[in-house]
Amino acid sequence: FVPDLADWAHVNAVIHDSTDNTIIISARLQGVMKLTYDNKVKWILAPHYGWRKNRRGEELAPYLLKPIDAAGNPITDTQVLNGLADRADFEWPWFQHSPALTPDHNLLVFDNGTTRNNNPDLPKYSRAVEYKIDETNMTIQQVWAYGKERGLETFSGIVSSVQYLPEKNHVLFAPGWQVANTVGKGGKIVEIDRATKTVVAQTSVSSPNLWGFHRTKRVKIYANGNPYTE
């Protein structure tokens, strides 16, 4: 995404995949990657344009996940593959944050949408987006998304987070910077029913410096889920 010699990756998250003892990193300026603990690449989630050899002389193109459509068919449009165009059923994430694995082992990320399609003139929006990754066939399929329909009212070019809430099958979608609120700017925290995409709760956090928050996370107040009683 960004040929910056000083900050070429800008890693903003690292999570562990216990199913194969690997790590998944979100490199804001490059994409999302899965790595082994001896620094071998398993896959790369990013537009296909511009990937060449790494510093070990290994070609990285074979590790790029290949998108498939909603019906499971390969997407072969080079404009889509290279991130210059989107489909109704597939978009790459741009400048993403907050990767998380769902109970189905899908990958949920906050797609900031910064410089989407490398075109600053496109309408701006951020998304919570869920991908199904087939590591055997090296494919990626977009299976759920929310946020495009809300446009600028939930657009955050930096920071932000998503969280899956398994108890209710809800998603917390939290754009955190320069989001227009009723009073001022900052961030929004939107709880969405994943099945219906209905907003079940929403709150706004405004700030004089336009930073609502870096991330949000729902936690239980009590360690065992219940208030203390004697």
Distance between CA atoms of 211 and 198, rounded to whole angstroms?
26
The residue annotated as part of the active site, out of 10, 16, 48, 97, is: 97
Token pair 């219940």 is found at: 226
φ/ψ of 50, rounded to 5, equals 90, 0
Neighbours of 88 (CB within 10 A): 8
Q: Which residues pair with 162 in a beta bridge?
A: 173
* DSSP string for 13-64: EEEEETTTTEEEEEETTTEEEEE-TTS-EEEEES-STT--B-TTS-B-GGGB
| 3 state DSSP class of 100 | strand
Instruction: Say whether 48 is catalytic.
Output: no
The secondary structure element, H or E, covering residue 149 is none
Handedness of CA 86, 87, 92, 94 (dihedral sign): positive
Structure tokens at 216: 């949000």
β-bridge pairing 161-165 and 139-146: unpaired
Distance between CA atoms of 93 and 126, rounded to whole angstroms?
9
- Catalytic positions are 97
